[in-house]
Structure formats: structure tokens, C-alpha cells
Amino acid sequence: MPDTPPQPVTLRSFQFTLFLTGVLWIAAAGNVATHAAQGIATRLNLPLCEDLLQQAFYLFLLLCGFAGIGWISTRNGGIRFNNALPNRATTLQEWSRGAALGWAMLLVAVLPMTFAGALHPQLSFTLSSWGLAALSFITLLLSSLALEIAFRGYIFRRLITAIGPVTATILISFIYALVSSYRPYSSPLSVAVTFFMGVLFSLAYLRTHALWLGWGMHFAWSAATSILIGLPLAGFATYNTLVITSVGGRDWLTGGGYGPEAAPLTLLVLCGAMIVLYRISRDYAWNYTHAPITPAAYAVVIAPPAAHTAMEAAAAPAPLVQILSTTPASPSTLPEIEEHLRAESNLPPTD
């Protein structure tokens, strides 16, 4: 992965201060979004939309808050720049590749559970189930983007500048895993899996300098786990509407009530996904993470050696010689013949 050059101590301290400011804003935005969503859902009697409202408010506060912090601190950028959401020609392609990888990761993770007969799905294709599924789909789309912005957006970039990409990846993944430890049914294994998942999403940013690839992976994993397979998502089963899957067997195989993110096989899946992600992002890493090579030097004029100058002088071509015309000025024939020719042509005689 591309590294960043060493920064002065004052700049690193400033960037670390911005990182801490961003962490405080994440906590404040989450608290404000939760209370605002609860108040609106209660007032309008829309309990089913509370989670959607919370994620929408949270995403809005993160986008605007990080843009404001970035502008106040450096007078630079806007919402897209400060939140690592650049407008590119490959935006949709990056997101699609990430979604395909996230879907493939889940399939590989649940195959052993399927072969062991530990999954018992129940289908519900009623009109209300389809409506709830659409609501869950939009909610997960917003929540996955909000999590990527919170942990792999502004504060991750500030941390990279302060302590380097490797240490920043480890630290931000540790914080990401620590937050997951407060979710229902969490365990030391689920925290370890979440840590490696944070490393995977961080690698997606480092390879592209954008969140499109990581957002696609995050959303596809979440939507496929909860909506399509019907398994718990990080300890929550609120998105299981079309498919509700009861899990039997050992928790070490299925992850128990926490879901596939607490299964040991998921660790191997994440390691394999890192290799795949590295390969599918080669073009993005080349185009977006390496600074263009620009000439930067002083003009230097060095006189050639004297021996070289002498050799050039010796090898110089000879000067050109103009060759004048050799046509004789006098007649080319005898006078008698000339007179005869003139007589034949009725020309006057010459003196």
C-alpha cells in the first residue's frame, strides 16, 4: 500500500487533534441523531421508520460536520473532499466490485453452515414483508455509508497523516472492533472478526483513496446477511423480513445470536477477501493513489569536453564549392556549316 512521507511534528500533532475532534463529533452526531429520530417517530406515530430516520440524520450530520471541520481547519475542500467521496468516472464500477466481493464473502461464510444443516429458513413473501424489506434495504444503504464515513473517512485520513497508514489502520480497526463489543451477543471472537473486517474496509480505502469500494462491500455483506439469508447482523435481527432463518448447532460454526461475524470461518474468509481486493483494485491504486511524476529540477548547462569539441571540428564537412557553367560562348560548329544552316532557314548572315 502507498505510504505517506514523514510529516513535521507540528503537522502530525495538528492532524491528531483533528482526529480527536472528529471522534468527538461522531459521538455527538450519533446521540443527536438517535434522540431526533425517536422524537419524530413518536410524534408522527411512525415507529417502523425510526431506524431509517436515525441513519439518515446520522449520515447528514457526519457529512456536514466533517466538511465544516475541514473548512475551519484548513479552508479546503467540501462535503465530497472531506468525506472521501470523490466524483470519478469509475465510481459505479468501484461500488459494484465491492458489492460483488461482499456478496461472495457471505456465500463462502455460510456454506459450511448450510452443509452442516444448521440453517432453517422460513419465507414470508407478503405485501407487508416486501415493504419492510424495502425499508430495511434503504436503511442498510444509509447505515453502511455512515459507518464508512465515520471510521474510514475524515478521521482515518487525519490519522494516516499523523501516524502513517499501517498504524492508522490498526488503531482505527481496534476502535471499530471496540464499538462492536457493546452490541448484543458479542464475544471475544466477534470482536476479533470485526477487527479484521475493519482492516479489510481500511484496505479498500488505502487502495482507492475513496469509500466507494468499501461502501459496496459493507452494504452487500449487511444486506445479504439480514435481508436475503435472514441471519442476525452484528447481534440485531431487525432487518429479517422476507427470510427469517433460525440457527441450530454449535455457536463456533454459526456465530450464534451475533451472526456470521462471530464465526471462526469468517476470519479465513476475510483473509481471502483481502487478497481478492488487492487484485481487483490494481487499476484504482495505480490511477488514484500514486502522485503523478512531475519534473522538478534546476537547469544545468555543462560545456562539452575539449577533446569532444576537437573531434566535432575534425569531422566537419568540407565547404561547398560552386561549379560554374561550362557552355562555350563561341559557336560549336565551323563557320561554313553555320552559314549553310542559316541559308537553309532563310536567316540573314552573321558578321
Give Cα 76 to chain centroid, integer Å.
Answer: 20
CA distances from 102 to 16, 109, 222, 270, 324 (A): 31, 11, 9, 10, 87
Q: State how far the Cα of 173 lies from the Cα of 255, in Å rounded to an integer.
A: 20
Q: What is the pLDDT of residue 249?
A: 76
Q: Determine, yes or no, domain membership for 141.
A: yes
Tens of pLDDT, residues 27-83: 999 999 999 999 999 999 989 899 999 999 999 999 999 999 999 988 877 899 999
Examine residue 164 and state whether it is found in any structural domain, yes or no: yes
Is residue 332 domain-resident? no
How high is the pLDDT of residue 304? 73
Mean pLDDT of 279-304: 76
Residue 3 has pLDDT above 50, yes or no: no
Tell me the mean pLDDT in the region 97-101: 96
How far apart are alpha carbons 66 and 351 in whole angstroms?
111
* Residue 316 forms part of a structural domain: no
Q: Which of 120-124, 184-188, 312-316 has the lowest mean pLDDT?
A: 312-316
Domains in the chain: how many in total? 1
Burial of 29 (C-beta count, 10 Å sphere; 0-12/13-18/19+): buried
Any domain includes 227: yes
Say whether pLDDT at 282 is over 80: yes
Burial category of 309 from C-beta neighbours within 10 Å (exposed 0-12, middle 13-18, buried 19 and up): exposed
Per the CB < 8 A criterion, the answer to whether 105 and 270 are in contact is yes
**How far is residue 181's CA from residue 165's CA, in Å, rounded to a whole number?**
24
Task: Give me the domain span that covers residue 106.
Answer: 91-285
Q: In the chain, helix, strand, coil percent, each to 5? A: 65, 5, 30
List the beta bridge partners of residue 122.
244
Give phi and psi for 231, each to the nearest 5.
-100, 160
Instruction: Let me know if residue 70 belongs to a domain.
Output: no
Q: Is 64 a domain residue?
A: no
Place of cell 468501484: 94
Assigned C-alpha cell, 304: 562539452
The pLDDT of residue 123 is 87
